[in-house]
A and B are shown apart, each in its own frame.
Chain A
Amino acid sequence: DVKVTQSSRYLVKRTGEKVFLECVQDMDHENMFWYRQDPGLGLRLIYFSYDVKMKEKGDIPEGYSVSREKKERFSLILESASTNQTSMYLCASSWSELAEAYNEQFFGPGTRLTVL
């Protein structure tokens, strides 16, 4: 069964803290993604990665960084958390574009982050 797991379902942090959100997939997918979901805005892409140690900025990368040291793991880092980063964070993964199931993404359960 396809599985994407995220380290926490709920997280509460203080302004200025460094925050790590972890995502692991067990499907040997090349592509991994981080989105944030806010009411009325849908899902917006923060960063994505096509391969180990490779990353590209999405639509809203400011205030975030990512790390992909191993194929199965993709971490989202908030260097100095701020209240406007309170949101639901969703990780996803997919096969490479050469696969027939092109771009179908599999999502984790999400991490609801609150920054106080």
Chain B
Amino acid sequence: AQKVTQAQTEISVVEKEDVTLDCVYETRDTTYYLFWYKQPPSGELVFLIRRNSFDEQNEISGRYSWNFQKSTSSFNFTITASQVVDSAVYFCALSGYTGRRALTFGSGTRLQVQP
């Protein structure tokens, strides 16, 4: 069975601080995909990134960066110089390459960025 754990329920930071959202996953698949989604107050989930299990290179996109470590089954997400617009619930998700093609989500981390 697949499982995604986001141990941080809620994080509050002040604008311009850096913040890291943790994600730990469990799967028996040798090939899998990991995702991060953002859910702003409007409610619609927005896709941020997808990572294949064979690609352990870290990725940076503007103020966002992702650290994938297969050895620790973690896929952490860092926001540099946070802004109020980053306030949202962030979900980490996992999908196997074969079998069930639906996503398994973590419970989410609510990020509040104070001005």
**Which residues in A have some Cβ–Cβ distance to B below 8 Å?**
31, 33, 35, 40-45, 48, 50, 58, 88, 90, 92, 94, 97, 101-110
Contacts and interface: CB of A to CB of B under 8 A. Distances in A.
Given A103-B50, A103-B101, A104-B35, A41 B45 contact: no
B33 interface: yes
Contacts, number: 55
Contacts of B107: 40-42
B42 A103 contact: no
Given A40-B107, A42-B107, A43-B91, A109 B42 contact: yes
Contacts of B62: none
Interface residues of B, number: 24
B43 interface: yes
B43 A106 contact: no
A40 B9 CA distance: 8
